[in-house]
Each structure stands twice: as C-alpha cells, then as structure tokens.
Amino acid sequence: MRVVSGIQPTGKPHLGNYLGAIVNYVKLQDEAVAAGGECFIFLADLHAISQPHDPAELTRNTREMVATLVACGVDPAKTVLFNQAQVPAHAELQWLLNGTARMGWLNRMTQWKDKAGKNREGQSVALFTYPVLQAADVLLYQATHVPVGEDQKQHLELARDIAQKFNNDFCAEDAPLFTLPEPYIPPTAARIMSLRDGSAKMSKSDPSEMSRISLSDDPDTVMKKIRKARTDPEPLPSEEKGLNGRAEAINLIGIYTALTGKSTAEVLGEYGGQGFGAFKPALGEVLVETLRPINARFTELKDDSEALDAILARGAAQARESGGATLDAAYRALGLVRH
C-alpha cells in the first residue's frame, strides 16, 4: 500500500481540505503503517506558482501548512512529509511525462477551464500543464491510494491515462513501469460547499471569509460563520427525501455527519421539524470541539520554523531516496543516455 497526496500551500487550509482530504491522510497513514506500506504527503509548492503569487507569502504558507498538517495528526514519524521544491524528481518526471500527455487531455480538464475562464491566452503555461505535474507526483512513488476530495478526481483519471499510455508505449507488456493510482474519496464530505452559496465549492480563493471555516478560526468566528451561513427558510425535514433540492441544508448536515460519524437519518431524527435556529448552534459546537485541539497544537508549532524546516528536510531526503528508482527507470525506458 502506497499512499500519496498533496496540498497547495496557498491561503489558509479550510474545512473542505480537512474533511475532503486531511482526515484521510491521517486514516491512511495509520493503515499504511499497519500494512507495512508507506505514506507520502507533500506540499504542492511547485503547483502554487502556476497562479500569481507573493513569494514571501508562499514561504510563510509553506511552514504554516506543515504546522497545520502535523496539528491535524499527520505524523512525520509515520508519513514522509515534504515539499515538492526539495525533490527535483517531481519536476523531472513531469518533463518526461509531458512527452506522453496529450494537449486534448489537458484541454478537457474542468479545473483548467474554470480557472482560465475566458482568458486562456493570458494564463501561465504552468496552469495548463499542472495536471501533468500532479501525475508525476503520484506516479513517482508508485501510489496505490490517493486521498483527495471530489474536485481532484479528474486529475487522478488523467494520471492513470498518462501512466497507461507510457506503459503501453515504452514498457514490455509484462513489465509496466507505473502503477495505476486509485483516488480515495470520502463517501460523505467529498465536496464541502461554500457557506454563502450551496452551489459553489468551499475554496481558499473565495474572496469572502464568511464562505469558509478556516482551521485556524477561533470559537467565536466559527459560531458567527455558522450562524450567518445561508439557508432556506424551511424547517429541517424528518426524512432524507425532504432534503432534495436544498443544497445549503444538505451541505450543513453533511458537515455535521462527517464530524460526528452520525448518519443523515439519525441527524434528521434529532432535528427534523425544527428550524436552523436549533441545528446551527449544535453544528457550531461540534466544529469548535473539532478545531480546539488542532488550534492548540498549531499554536505550539507554528513559530518554530527551525523544527518545521527540519521536518521538511528529513521528509525530502526520504522522498528523494524513494522516488529515485522510478525516475531512473523512466529515463531508461525513454532511451535517454545519462552516464
């Protein structure tokens, strides 16, 4: 079992990152250790330069993201925790895979279409080839399980297509180089929506702070954001089918079930027939209690940049070692002479 996933160190991590991905980094890290496998979690800092960014902020966010991941339970003793920029094999393998990826495949990526909008000509080349780097990230370590939210599913499918084409084009049939990675997407909370708009994803780039719960929000802020979260005026239904077409209610109940482990039926059994005035404070409390230990640990870690850098340096050394054989094999398969 090889677990591999990445998170961009841009902006403050939020509840969508936590429930969609980070919770599963921790779960799969423990499963990998128990199964004698390995877990690699990295900060996708190379991906972060695909859009306009402030260099000083990227450096600060990188350290803060390490502190956040450790505060959430990613354990550097169990997981190889590092940043891409310290492992040149990611960028090298991306270049090798650029020879295999097709323009048409990248043109179909919904994230590219959403981020570029009508101004494709004005985007960086990195934003367009971003999914090839993401494929390199997971193929380098022969990932089997890739914990991600729903929005990354298409990128993972592309990684499989690239792996398959490379294996077909350059490897003997009985000796494929790359393992085809499987996305590991949570059954609930795969797509946490904005608190202001039930049809938009909760996102670091939403200009409204009120649209998301940041993992560093204090209890008053959490309670305020939940109190002000957009809802419809109807009371909660007693049965699941009564949620049809009620995106905001589905989102809030989804967050509650993901945090408590209760089923939707149980939650509706408790709150059905009551207004959001009763449900929202309960949801706020659960969130505050989830974030309390994360915040406490984050505060302890965040200013010790030496310790945070040491975690990244150690992880990067391990990652360089682990990815070396696959990178060498990829160069060889392509007939490139390097000695």
User: Which residues of this chain interact with ligand TYM, rule CB under 6 A?
Assistant: 5-8, 16-17, 20-21, 44, 47, 134, 137-138, 146, 148-149, 151-152, 190-192, 201-202
- Catalytic one of 201, 225, 280, 302: 201
- Cα separation, 76 vs 182, whole angstroms: 23
> CB-wise, 115 or 320, nearer to ligand TYM?
115
Minimum distance of ligand TYM from residue 199's CB (angstroms):
12
Residue (203 or 270) nearer to ligand TYM, CB: 203
Smaller CB distance to ligand TYM: residue 203 or 221? 203
In the block, tokens 């997981």 appear at 79
Q: Are 253 and 264 in contact (CB under 8 A)?
A: yes
Residue number with the smallest Cβ distance to ligand TYM: 20
Catalytic residue among 12, 27, 78, 115: 115
Least distance between ligand TYM and beta carbon 133 (Å): 7
CB of 278: closest distance to ligand TYM in angstroms? 26
Amino acid at 111: Q
> Position 161: which residue type?
D
Given a contact cutoff of 8 angstroms between Cβ atoms, the answer to whether 140 and 326 are in contact is yes
Closer by beta carbon to ligand TYM, 2 or else 47: 47
Minimal distance, residue 134 CB to ligand TYM, in Å: 4
103-111 long-range contacts, CB within 8 A, separation 24+: 105/158, 105/161, 105/162, 106/131, 106/132, 106/158, 109/154, 109/155, 109/158, 110/154, 111/151, 111/154, 111/155
- In whole angstroms, the minimum distance from the beta carbon of 211 to ligand TYM comes to 10
In this structure, are residues 68 and 13 in contact, taking their beta carbons and an 8 Å threshold?
Answer: yes
CA distance 171 to 137: 20
- Active site residue: 12, 78, 204, 262, which one? 204
Q: Please, which residue, 70 or 307, has the CB nearer to ligand TYM?
A: 70
Give the number of other Cβ atoms within 10 Å of residue 218's Cβ.
13
Cα–Cα distances in angstroms (integers) from residue 275 to residues 93, 103, 229, 288, in the given order:
53, 50, 13, 21
**Residue 228 annotated as catalytic:** no
To the query of whether residue 280 is one of the catalytic residues in this protein, the response is no
Q: Is 204 a catalytic residue?
A: yes
Positions marked active-site: 115, 201, 204
